[in-house]
Amino acid sequence: MSPQKALLTAAALLTAANAREITFPPVSGVQQPVGASYGNGVGNMGFGFGDDPLDLSNSQFAGLTTYANLPYVHCLANTTATGGEVESYDIAILGAPFDTGVTARPGARYGPIGIRQGSRRIGPFAYNIYTGKNAFSTLKVVDCGDAPLTVLDNTIALAQLDKAHRVVSARKADSDVASVPRIITLGGDHTTTLSALRSTVDHWGAVSVIHFDSHIDTWDPKVLGGGVSHYAGVNHGTFLHLAHEEGLLLNSSIHAGIRAPVGNKHYDLRHDKACGFDIIKARDIDRFGTQKIIDHLLERTNGTSVYISVDIDVLDPAFAPATGTAEVGGWSTRELLTILDGLSGIHIIGGDVVEVAPIYDNPGETTTLAAAEVVHSLIQLMADTPVKPTKN
């Protein structure tokens, strides 16, 4: 190597060594870190930085994954770890990891964690572009984690879930405008809704259920499962029959999005009516549009307390492939969200999103993103209408 070449090589090495200290030039137009306060006291976009880029205390995508990055509260505890009172809340997100009541593909026991995963971009900074509202600004919403449910015995698991609902809803609400906390359950297969209704009856008596689903779920255990054993008759296709039998439902209930076939067109539909339900079929949206569907749901349940249960299979499998009993020909995510948001003002006392089985989802998380946004809409409906119990 010539002395001249050696000198050039040394200079290149020196440059390489110096290049390890990288100083980026200032980015034109950015006056403060992304996500910093707008300077007029109105929030930020939740990317985790205030004026100090090393302030790690407000990061959106760090820490453990709760629904919409909400604070975690151990709502099932008797006291806090230090013996204090459990933190109060108005709306509790509660996971129900149970999927041994299904008649088709299992996997919804991972629904709660999947929905939380799909909710990472939802948070207190978000104002709805259609309504201008922020679902988290008036009532205190927390994530209680999942109820501990055994996977080995359905009877015990459902008793555990019954108890979890009673404990979580028995606390005094945080706000004085809503004296009983309301629960939004992340299912879990649809059997889990039965536990929720067994708890809401303690505070609000029998309720109307708005049941978004492709299936009617009022099947008589005699025709679905009960022929196998008494125990097998309690499943995700019979829970509404059982809720009716237990006196938890008003006869102003209604299904929305139905399209799956029934086993016996006379008996099943007559029985469905006897359980208190009217039916909006999936294709009704083509004839009437979303507004007529909203109007019908509001008319049907007018003057009653309402529980809203959303089986994610109400959506077409194009929008929600990750579910146990997919039925083609369903609604789009946009149509469902339009209908849900259109129910603003309804006396909603509880709700759930069930049958999300993340194992069948795609890398784009299509189903869990949709389910997370449905939960967001349910929270907004609760925030729109604070309720007081009609019993106790």
**Is residue 311 a contact point for Mn ion (CB under 5 A)?**
yes
User: From the CB of 212, what's the least distance to Mn ion, in Å?
Assistant: 9
CA distances from 371 to 125, 168, 176, 334 (A): 19, 22, 30, 12
Min dist CB 134 to Mn ion, Å, is: 30
220 marked among binding-site residues: no
Residue 299 to residue 166: CA distance in whole angstroms: 30
**Alpha-carbon distance 177 to 86, whole Å?**
20
Q: Which of residues 49-68 bind Mn ion (CB under 5 A)?
A: none
Distance, in Å, from the CA atom of 290 to the CA atom of 233, rounded to the nearest integer, reads 35
**Considering only 35-43, 44-52, 308-316, 331-339, which stretch makes contact with Mn ion by CB under 5 A?**
308-316
Binding pattern for the stretch 258-297 against Mn ion, x by CB under 5 A and - elsewhere: ----------------------------------------
How far apart CA 283 and CA 289 sit, in angstroms, is: 10
Among 99, 143, 213, 335, binds Mn ion (CB under 5 A): 213
Residue 141 C-beta: closest distance to Mn ion, Å: 25
Which residue reads 């016996």 in tokens? 264
Binding segment toward Mn ion, per CB under 5 A, in 2-10, 101-109, 207-215, 255-263: 207-215
CA 100 to chain centre: 20
CB of 311 to Mn ion, least distance (A): 4
CB of 96 to Mn ion, least distance (A): 14
217 binds Mn ion (CB under 5 A): yes
316 labelled binding-site residue: no
Indicate whether 352 belongs to the interface with Mn ion (CB under 5 A).
no
Interacting residue with Mn ion among 116, 120, 165, 190 (CB under 5 A): 190
Spatial strand order in the sheet of 306-311: 141-146, 91-96, 182-187, 348-354, 306-311, 208-212, 253-258, 277-281
Q: Which of 55, 61, 57, 66 is nearest to 33 (CA)?
A: 55
CA 356 to chain centre: 10
Binding positions are 190, 213, 215, 217, 311, 313
Interface with Mn ion (CB under 5 A): 190, 213, 217, 311
